[in-house]
Homo-oligomer: A and B are copies of this chain.
Amino acid sequence: MRPSKRAPEAMRPVSLERGVARYAEGSCLVKFGETHVLCAASLEEKAPGWLRGQGKGWVTAEYSMLPRATHERTRREVNFGKPSGRTQEIQRLVGRSLRAVVDLKMIGERQITVDCDVLQADGGTRTASITGAWVALHDCLVWMKARDMLKGPALKDHVAALSCGIYKGVPVLDLDYAEDSHAETDANFVMTGSGGIVEVQGTAEGAPFSEAELMTLLGLAKTGCAQLVELQKLAVA
């Protein structure tokens, strides 16, 4: 039995609210149950230095949590002088996931940064960030298209993400914090609208897992990501 009483293959209620950041070119407040992330896409008229002169742009992401997003207050990373290893891992993952579905040549020598700020955290903040960031990015590209800033279609597909894990021996979808902290295996899947895999990250927290278990988790994730993609379609419709 999951602490939330959900069935093994059940996600938490998901909502995607657009246009929440007044000044951003695109934004989305994504909720996976009690996990809330504010995603805001910002357009900058300058590509990063190492890309200049190549006629294409860049999409990147930053990630942070408010100190009291969590059950216990966590210290701000600015007080340690640098983003933690975990923060860097997550923001690199979000950036890679978005770039997998963008044609960087179409946006010209510009940069889009999607900020994912976790207002409340109950597990799955990185997968919620990817799913919401896609909506913010989508709206930023719509904003650019309306201003004739795109050289052609820039968004190639949807991208969404979900965590899965083995909790008390049972493969389950979309772990919340209570499950996440006790799961034997924890895996994040990033998938496109057409069902391709962008990223798999599976870690045995306790005993190693088998090939069969990996396949079961992947199956759960495929079904879940397909649902997320439907919700994205509704959100931007």
Q: Which residues of A contact B (CB under 8 A)?
A: 21-24, 27, 34, 38, 40, 42, 44, 62, 64, 66-71, 73, 76-79, 81-83, 85, 88-89, 92, 96, 100, 113, 115, 117, 119-120, 187, 191-192, 194-204, 207-211, 214-215, 218, 222
Contact = CB atoms under 8 A, between A and B. Distances in A.
A41 B137 CA distance: 33
Contacts of A203: 96, 198-199
Nearest to A70: B23
Count the copies: 6
A115 B68 contact: yes
Given A40-B68, A64-B76, A204-B196, A23 B82 contact: no
Interchain residue pairs A-B with the least CB separation, the first 10: A196-B208, A85-B88, A42-B73, A40-B68, A200-B202, A78-B78, A81-B81, A24-B68, A82-B82, A77-B78
A45 to B, nearest CB: 11
A23 B68 contact: yes
Q: Most chain-B CB neighbours within 10 Å: which of A44, A68, A222?
A: A68
B192 A199 contact: no
